[in-house]
Amino acid sequence: MHSYPALLCSCVVSILALCHGLPLPADTMRNLIKLQAENISARIQRQRDELPIFHNLILDSPELLPELPSDKPIEGLTSVVETLSAFQRVLHSLPKGHVTQLRSDVSKLQSDLEERMSSLQCPHRKTSTEKTLEAFLKNNRMFHITLGHVALDRLQKYLQRLTHNLDKLKTC
């Protein structure tokens, strides 16, 4: 007779724990990702507007950062996380200052997507282009202004594509 309240209590605790561990609803997650991506994109745009020296210059070319092409498609959660990791690597190769807040923003976005990956039990993929990217950054990190301009431009375009392809985040 006394075991009934204890059983009930344990069930309630279990349900609460389960609810706490549940991931965010899909729509909430989509909105959160979209908001973060737009925030990063807007921050990049502000930086570009504050630095108008590149308006008449074309710096981007396909041989630059081949790991992060400007037209990289949005394929799925794993691909997005992998791409953001590569962008994060580039951001960390740039000097602190303008990109400091961007690093934090991209890191948070990356973390949320990885959490989403875990909830969908997506496998983590080891990037095959890590060494070439590191070598490129090592050879070009001294040109941080132009490198940052190209990288941020591609990051902005990638995030803009991401906001238009949020359905791709439903799959790995």
Partner 1 sequence: MFLCMMLPLLVNILIAVHGVAALSPVSSRPGRYQDFQWRAQLCCEWPSVGPSANTNDASASRSVKTTNTSVTQIRGLPESASYQCSIQNFTNGMDTSTESQGFSAECFDILCHLEDEQANLICFLKYRRAPDTITTSTFTVNLQQVGKDLTLHTDAPIHTNQTQCSGEDAVTCSIAVHAAKGSVSLLISGFINGRSLQSPEMHISTDYLRKPEPPFNLHYNVTIEGEVVFTWSDSQSSRYPLNYEIRYSSNTSLQHWEVVNTHHPWVSLKELSSGIIYTVQVRSQSPQHLQYWSNWSQPFYLTLNVSYIPAEVFTRPDAEVTVYGVFHNHSWSARRAVWMLNGQVIPESQYRVVNERVSAVTIRSKEPGFDTLLCCHPWGERYKCNIAYAKVYTEGLFDANITCQTDQRSRTDSMTCKWNKSAWAVVRFLYKTYNGMCEVIPPDEGVMTAVQEDSMVGVKECPDGVGDFRECTLQGLSLFSCYKLWLVVEGGHGKVRSRPIFVAPVDYVRPSPPSDLEGDTFPNQTLSASWRRPHLPAYELQYELRYVPSRRMADLQWKVVGPLIDTSVEVLVEDPCVQYEVQVRCKRLHGSGYWSDWSKPHMSTVYSTEAPGRGPDFWRVIQEDTEKNHSNVTLLFKPIPAEGPSICVQGLVVEHQASGGILWSDDMTLGSFYTFQWKEEVHTITVMSYNSLGSSVKNSNMTLVRQPKRRCVRSFRAAANATCVSLSWTLLSDQPPPASFVIEWLELNGDSEQGTGRVEWLRVPSTSRDVHICRHFYGTEVFRLYPVFVDGEGEPVRCSAARSDPAAYMLLMIIAFLSVVLFVTLIISQNQIKRLMWKDVPNPNNCSWAKGMNFKTMEGTDNLFGHREGLTACPLLLVSESVCEAKIVVKPSVFAVDKDQEKESLLHCSVDGEGKNTNLSTVEGSLEPLSMDISTVSTTPETSGQSSVTYSTVLVFDQPMLLRKQQESLSNSSDEGNFSANNSDISGSFPGGLWELENQSCSDGTNPRNSSSYNSVEEFSETSEQEDETLESRRMAKELYYLGMNEEEEEDFHGDEADADETVLCVDSSPELERKCSGASDSSSMSQISIPLYLPQFRTGATELLREQVENSALHL
Single out the residue of 28, 45, 100, 118 in contact with partner 1 (rule: CB under 8 A): 100
User: Using CB under 8 A, which residues numbered 125 to 144 contact partner 1?
Assistant: 131-132, 135-136, 139-140, 142-144
| 28 in Cβ contact with 147 (< 8 Å) | no
Nearer to partner 1, 43 or 168 (CB): 43
Of 64 and 120, nearer to partner 1 (C-beta) is 64
> If binding means CB under 8 A, how many residues of this protein chain bind partner 1?
30
Distances (CA, A) of 82 to 4, 46, 88, 111, 142: 50, 26, 10, 12, 25
> Which one of 10-18, 29-37, 57-65, 117-125 is the stretch in contact with partner 1 (CB under 8 A)?
57-65
Residues that bind partner 1 (CB under 8 A): 51, 53-54, 56-59, 61-64, 66, 95-98, 100, 131-132, 135-136, 139-140, 142-147, 150
